[in-house]
């Protein structure tokens, strides 16, 4: 799929019809070229943590014929004698075999959260829209560096896109991540078991040393998920990009306001006009973000907080 076709799809609202409120894609058509340009700047920064490798630069978990000598080991019956290490055999008096590092292309798996709590925003855009923008920049950047790109979308019905290389793979990921994301009429409470299962599926499906970029607000993250996330981080290189809305740092003065917690389903009236209420809320919100950061660190994931209002993603993602 070409960039022009994806842009046309975005202009139609993602469904082949005129854009209507609640059914518009998360990324405007005129933003796509700008995000591609940001990806080009990110590639130019030569960031090794995300995509600064070419095919053959990364060691494979499999050992076989390749370009680079890995090690020598003792010969076992059935081994190919063409790989005999005659020098080591002569030196030790025991038959040894040469093992080579097998070429492969780096795999980056983008995990994009489109859950209920991401369908929220008080400035400029929804958190889900910022997650889609991050996915777009990283998808363009990964494929520009000849990486292999896969994606998992956490939604009412989870979806996994197979790992592929090339610009078509990036555009497919962007199209799925930017699909319309209307508010859920009656979202179910966050299920801790479901997120533990999601992390376990990633651990089982991805090859060792794959790069996993989790783009979420991590409102679901609880103590029960730390072990599952740690097992994934022990197998893969995990980056956690946390999307935060300004109202999640400082409660605005709106007077009496009705709040609906999309994670738990709870509804409550809060007098945001009271300074004491805003002060207490600010402390509670800061404590929650700090606890989430500690949990991600304990699990072994590199963590970046990104405001939903940020337009320049390169400056932020250079540290991801």
158 within 8 A of 54, measured Cβ to Cβ: no
DSSP H or E segment with residue 227: helix 223-235
Looking at residue 100, its pLDDT comes to 66
Work out the average pLDDT over 60-87.
Answer: 69
Rg of the chain in Å (alpha carbons): 23
pLDDT for residue 15 is more than 90: no
Work out the average pLDDT over 45-54.
Answer: 47
Which pTM does this prediction carry?
A: 0.77
Q: Where in the chain is the domain with CATH 3.40.50.410?
A: 3-53+105-317
Q: Are strands 256-260 and 267-271 parallel, antiparallel or unpaired?
A: antiparallel
Structure tokens at 176: 């799925």
Work out the average pLDDT over 63-80.
Answer: 67
pLDDT for residue 50 is more than 50: no
Write down the number of H helices and E strands in the chain.
9, 10
For 25, 27, 34, 71, 95, the CA distances from 30, given in Å and listed in that order, are 12, 8, 8, 52, 64
Instruction: List, for residues 223-272, the tens digit of each pLDDT value.
Output: 999 999 999 999 999 999 999 999 888 888 889 988 877 666 788 898 88
Higher pLDDT, 14 or 266: 266
Looking at residue 174, its pLDDT comes to 96
Confidence at 52, pLDDT banded by 50, 70, 90: very low
Of 41-55, 56-70, 132-146, which range is least confident? 56-70
Count of beta carbons in the 10 Å neighbourhood of residue 193: 8
For 38, 59, 67, 97, 148, the CA distances from 103, given in Å and listed in that order, are 29, 7, 7, 19, 13
Confidence at 190, pLDDT banded by 50, 70, 90: low
Q: Give SS3 for 3.
A: helix
Looking at residue 208, its pLDDT comes to 85
For the chain, what percent of residues have pLDDT higher than 90? 48
Instruction: List, for residues 18-36, the tens digit of each pLDDT value.
Output: 445 557 899 988 899 999 9
Looking at residue 213, its pLDDT comes to 97
Work out the average pLDDT over 302-313.
Answer: 94
Looking at residue 169, its pLDDT comes to 94
212 within 8 A of 299, measured Cβ to Cβ: no
Looking at residue 55, its pLDDT comes to 46
Higher pLDDT, 65 or 257: 257
Q: How far apart are CA 206 and CA 59, in angstroms?
A: 15
Q: How far apart are CA 87 and CA 44, in angstroms?
A: 44
Mean pLDDT of the chain: 83
Looking at residue 16, its pLDDT comes to 52
Q: How far apart are CA 11 and CA 4, in angstroms?
A: 11
Instruction: List, for residues 97-143, the tens digit of each pLDDT value.
Output: 887 655 456 799 999 999 988 998 888 899 999 999 999 999 999 99
Q: How far apart are CA 318 and CA 293, in angstroms?
A: 19
Q: How far apart are CA 129 and CA 181, in angstroms?
A: 9
Is the torsion defined by CA of 245, 138, 208, 160 positive or negative? positive
- CB neighbour list of residue 197: distance below 8 Å, 6 or more residues apart: none
CATH number assigned to the domain covering 3-53+105-317: 3.40.50.410
Instruction: List, for residues 153-188, the tens digit of each pLDDT value.
Output: 999 899 999 999 899 999 999 999 999 988 776 655
Looking at residue 104, its pLDDT comes to 57
Looking at residue 304, its pLDDT comes to 95
């Amino acid at each position: 799929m070409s960039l022009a076709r994806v842009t046309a799809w975005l202009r139609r609202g993602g469904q082949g019809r005129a854009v209507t409120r609640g059914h518009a894609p998360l990324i405007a058509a005129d933003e796509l070229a700008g995000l591609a340009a940001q990806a080009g700047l990110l590639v130019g920064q030569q960031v090794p943590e995300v995509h600064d490798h070419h095919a053959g630069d990364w060691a494979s978990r499999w050992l076989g014929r390749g370009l680079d000598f890995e090690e020598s080991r003792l010969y076992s019956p059935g081994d190919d004698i063409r790989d005999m290490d005659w020098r080591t055999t002569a030196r030790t008096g025991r038959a040894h075999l040469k093992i080579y590092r097998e070429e492969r292309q780096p795999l980056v798996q983008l995990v994009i959260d489109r859950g209920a709590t991401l369908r929220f925003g008080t400035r400029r855009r929804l958190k889900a829209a910022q997650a889609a923008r991050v996915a777009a920049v990283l998808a363009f950047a990964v494929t520009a560096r000849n990486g292999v790109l896969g994606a998992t979308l956490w939604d009412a019905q989870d979806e996994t896109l197979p790992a592929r290389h090339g610009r078509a793979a990036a555009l497919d990921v962007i199209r799925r991540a930017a699909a319309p994301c209307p508010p859920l009429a009656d979202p179910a409470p966050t299920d801790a078991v479901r997120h533990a299962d999601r992390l376990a599926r990633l651990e089982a499906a991805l090859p060792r040393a794959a790069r996993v970029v989790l783009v979420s607000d991590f409102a679901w993250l609880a103590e029960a998920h730390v072990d599952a996330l740690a097992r994934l981080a022990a197998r893969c290189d995990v980056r956690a990009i946390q999307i935060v809305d300004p109202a999640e740092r400082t409660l605005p003065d709106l007077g009496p306001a009705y709040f609906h917690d999309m994670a738990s389903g709870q509804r409550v009236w809060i007098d945001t006009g009271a300074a004491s209420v805003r002060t207490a809320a600010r402390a509670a919100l800061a404590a929650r973000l700090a606890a989430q950061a500690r949990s991600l660190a304990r699990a072994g994931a590199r963590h970046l907080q990104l405001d939903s209002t940020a337009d320049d993603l390169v400056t932020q993602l250079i540290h991801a």
